[in-house]
Structure 1
Amino acid sequence: MLVQKDSGEIKAMASGIDIDSDQYKKTTYSNDTRTNSGYSHSITDEEVQIQIVVESIENEIKQVPSSPAKYAIYRVLKPLREVKPEAYTPRLVSIGPFHHFSKHLRPMEAHKLRLLKYFLDQRSHTTLPDCVREMRKIENEARQYYSEVITLKKDEFVRMLVIDGCFLLELIIGWEDRRQDLDEPIFNEIWMPQIIRDLLLLENQLPFFVLKNLYMLYRKDDDSIYRLTETFLRDFLPQSSFIIHKGSIPQRFCNWVESIFHSSPSESKKDRREFLVNKSLSSDVLGSPSELKIDSGESPDTSPFFRLKPQIPQGGASHLLDYVRYLLVSDESKVGDNKQPQRIYCATELKKATVKFAKSNTTLFSDITFKEGVLRIPAIHIDDLTESLLRNLIALEQSHRYDAKYVTAYAVFMDDLINSPEDVKLLQDEEILENLINLEDLAALFHKILIEVTQPNELCFSHIYCELDSYYNNPWHKLLAKVHQHMGSLKSKYFKNTWSFISFIAATALLGLTIAQTVASFMNSH
């Protein structure tokens, strides 16, 4: 007996509808089946199974990003994640699909909806249907940014884009005017650093163009979203590339403002930075670019001080973490050659060879220089959240294709310089490290974050390594290093405290005077 099934039922089976294939085990299909040379023949059970598998694979292929070149948001590589899983896992808030269903993050969903409502009611003339409509247009393109198949259905994915996107926009736009709102827990100084920490995790990202498209519904200004985002992020980064040069017109203007309000030094420093970054200072107050005192070699347009316009990566940022990397790395820096000596001496050893240490003029990770015996390194603020940021930036460089992996190279360089708490203390004294964790933890920090990291074949600072190696191995500098080493041994062995050293000096002086007196007496007798 033949049982006839039409092609629609076969497609339903291939689409995942649970139909027991056993009922077709001994069944053949006839009538409107395939035709070859004018006659029809039966479809076997094996051909039905093949068709089911084919259509299932084709459905999965449709969900896969069309080209790996579009990948920008990745899962952290398993070897890196296993070293310290908590460094890559959100604690308070999920952004994007990777941690969307994590139970411990569900309480924040209510706050995300509340900020979404505030954004629509208070800041925008657009409506929720407008946001949904816009996100439906770009839904497929947004999926292409993720390095794995996102199983969320279209409506669920669009819902996530709207809620997470508007939540991020309200954080970015509202940071300046709502941070003093005591009734708003999201913007207070306890929650916000932890939220920022989650927003800068590699697995916790939305494509940046999602924010741009939502922002364009709010305000038709493509560049201002970058300016607002930069201002927002700079308050939480381990350093800022915004430098105020001594004696410049803006500096004198800020000093005048400070004298009016009698603010404390710590407050005035923060207020100056916020004032200069957040406001478009007019030339009639600050003077023309030519009046600004710029370090030699820098034009007013490229100076780290004269950055009143938002910094926008070429081609735009892929997501928030990618934009943070751009803010911390100079895109104009050159990759060094591939020559690297076998050994790099630590900071205390280099100092013995008369190498001096100083902070760079900027705090960009790429701004490491060695000239005339002075090693300049960007200053960095180290606290409990810095490790998470560095780990995720390095994880991004491990997965994404960049011309130069500057964050990884910076971590390698600092790991070479720091071997002990004494090295940390030396860099602290030169204000290169601003440390809020204990010395032992910081001494091991850069080594720990490089475990399981594949280091690039071409180090960005290889020319610095070679120059330092050449300087250290100069015969005169090697002699000075040995003298310092022997003096250190004498000090640790014989002069364990100040009084021992004073006694030695006194005894040496007394011995000298005795010898001089003896020589004088001998000369007088003759």
Structure 2
Amino acid sequence: MIQEHKRRFLKVLVAKMEKNGTDPQELVKAVSNLEGDIRESYSEDLVPWILPSIRADLLLLENQVPYLLLQTLLTTSRLVTCLNKIAFKFFNYSLSKPEAFWGKHYGLDEAKHLLDLIRTTFFPVPSQGSIEDKIPSQGRIEDKIPSQGSIEDNCLTIFCCSARKSGSKSSFNDAGPPSFVLSAKNLHLRGIKFELKKNTDSILDISYSKGVLQIPPVVMDGFMASFILKCVAFEQLHADSSNHLTSYAAFMACLINEESDAVFLKERRILEDYYGTSDGVSQFYKNIGNEVAFDINKSHLAKVFEGLNEYTSKGFHVYCAEFVHTHFDSPWTFASSFAALLLLMFAALQVFFAAYSYFRPT
């Protein structure tokens, strides 16, 4: 479009020059004399600021080229360099992973395209050889479609996590499939301890055990937000793919229900926010979970959902944790609770001595 305007304006300029009796070739000569200075004003190399945009565009779902085609082109060109190594080196500027991390994934050869290749590197290492839903078996198509009666029971809609009220107690069931969990602050209110998981190189490697939820650190920036969106779209489109990133987005959408939840995770160094504001992060997960569904029973986080629901839905520890957080969560509430306790003790002593003096007069 802009090229058409350039030609039109050039014709207008030439017409005015000819009308004034000026030869248009004088323009050519004038520009030719300045060619060296003009070229120095432009970079022949690719400017660094454009690279993040190129990386983002290469991972767009509509821009994906079959991995087999890329591999064939590389083999035909007789270049020794591994295709995975080239891709990992290019995208590492945005992902910032150590060389040892990428080295473990040089052998990946089952990716559909570049987006699937980078997505696969996010899978937790222990799960790659153990869980069955990493790459489902290529059986009959009927086997991949859940029965009509199981869709409502087994599928979790992420929208429910982000749209519900954080304090809702009706979301817990004593029986049945795993359900969504409370927000981060409400889980903490009910006795869940949040810990930063350090011994992992995957943000998806979330674990839960005996009231302790371990979450790997995640750097939330524009690239990561865009990458998660694209992976969720890919997993929704391909029925034969795993739902690792969708599961992660669902879980984080439950945890980060409000801006205060994002601040809570940032204080524990679980969330490193370069996305903008804490409210921006919470809005991102609310938006990404707009009616996106997945089979939670095939999720690598199914046990985490189930464990958190079981721990926070019943038990004496829940009431103890709520009592402690209600009355001793801050210095002011502690001081007021302590003062109330002292007044209660003094009142009890006063009643005791009044009764004692009545029944045992001196």
Q: Structure 2 length normalisation: TM-score?
A: 0.62
What is the aligned partner in structure 2 of residue 350 from structure 1? 187
1:336-378 Cα distance to aligned partner (Å, 9 max, x none): 8966344511111111222111233324243111023221123
Provide the rounded CA distance (Å) in 2 between the counterparts of 1:504 and 1:374: 28
- Listed as ranges, the matches of 1:39-438 within 5 Å are 183=43, 186-188=46-48, 190-221=49-80, 224-237=82-95, 240=97, 273=98, 277=99, 308-315=103-110, 317-330=111-124, 331-332=128-129, 334=131, 340-360=177-197, 361-436=199-274, 437-438=276-277
**Letter paired with 1:313:** L
Deviation for aligned residue 1:325: 0.6
What is the aligned partner in structure 1 of residue 22 from structure 2? none
- Three-state SS of the structure 2 residue aligned to 1:370 is strand
Q: Judge conservation of contact 1:363–1:380 (CA < 8 Å) in 2.
A: no
Provide the rounded CA distance (Å) in 2 between the counterparts of 1:432 and 1:201: 27
Residue 475 in 1 paired to residue 301 in 2?
no
Provide the rounded CA distance (Å) in 2 between the counterparts of 1:343 and 1:450: 12
Provide the rounded CA distance (Å) in 2 between the counterparts of 1:458 and 1:504: 44
Provide the rounded CA distance (Å) in 2 between the counterparts of 1:220 and 1:369: 42
Deviation for aligned residue 1:449: 1.0
Q: Which has the higher contact order (CA 8 A, sep 6+)?
A: 2
Q: Judge conservation of contact 2:189–2:325 (CA < 8 Å) in 1.
A: yes
Change in Cα spacing, 1:335 to 1:438, as seen in structure 2 (3 Å) is farther
Q: Judge conservation of contact 1:328–1:364 (CA < 8 Å) in 2.
A: yes
Change in Cα spacing, 1:206 to 1:416, as seen in structure 2 (3 Å) is same
Deviation for aligned residue 1:507: 9.5
Larger-gyration structure (1/2)? 1
Unmatched 5+ residue regions in structure 1?
1-102, 105-181, 241-272, 278-304
Aligned length: 273
Unmatched 5+ residue regions in structure 2?
3-41, 134-152, 155-175, 357-361
Deviation for aligned residue 1:379: 2.0
Q: Between the two proteins, what is the percent identity of the paired residues? A: 28
Moved more, 407-416 or 380-389: 380-389
Change in Cα spacing, 1:326 to 1:187, as seen in structure 2 (3 Å) is farther
1:241-300 Cα distance to aligned partner (Å, 9 max, x none): xxxxxxxxxxxxxxxxxxxxxxxxxxxxxxxx4xxx1xxxxxxxxxxxxxxxxxxxxxxx
Provide the rounded CA distance (Å) in 1 between the counterparts of 2:292 and 2:224: 17
Q: Judge conservation of contact 1:419–1:443 (CA < 8 Å) in 2.
A: yes
Change in Cα spacing, 1:323 to 1:381, as seen in structure 2 (3 Å) is same
Change in Cα spacing, 1:459 to 1:187, as seen in structure 2 (3 Å) is farther
Change in Cα spacing, 1:427 to 1:192, as seen in structure 2 (3 Å) is same
Q: Judge conservation of contact 2:191–2:322 (CA < 8 Å) in 1.
A: no
Change in Cα spacing, 1:452 to 1:504, as seen in structure 2 (3 Å) is closer
